Amino acid sequence: MPPEKKAFALRLDPALFNAVARLASADLRSVNAEIEFLLREALKTRGVKVEAVKDAGDQDR
């Protein structure tokens, strides 16, 4: 059984949310999965290593 994901509220500017929602739709991801993908991508770009257990919802498309 995969570990629980941390849940928290995130307040975004509506224009930023809409841009993320468009990306998510184009990538066939939920908005939540797209935000997680973008955060991981940004951390990787900055050289921050994140160790995480992969599950079916974490696949890059």
Domain boundaries, the chain: 14-58
Instruction: Find out whether 45 and 37 touch, Cβ atoms under 8 Å.
Output: no
CA gap 15, 44 in Å, rounded = 25
Question: Is pLDDT above 80 for 24?
Answer: yes
- Mean pLDDT across the chain: 88
Question: Is pLDDT above 90 for 5?
Answer: no
pLDDT (tens digit, 9 = 90+) per residue, 28-44? 999 999 999 999 999 99
Measured CA to CA in angstroms, residue 38 lies from 1, 24, 61 at distances of: 25, 10, 12
Mean pLDDT of 23-27: 98
Q: Which of 2, 23, 20, 25 is nearest to 10 (CA)?
A: 20
pLDDT at 51: 84
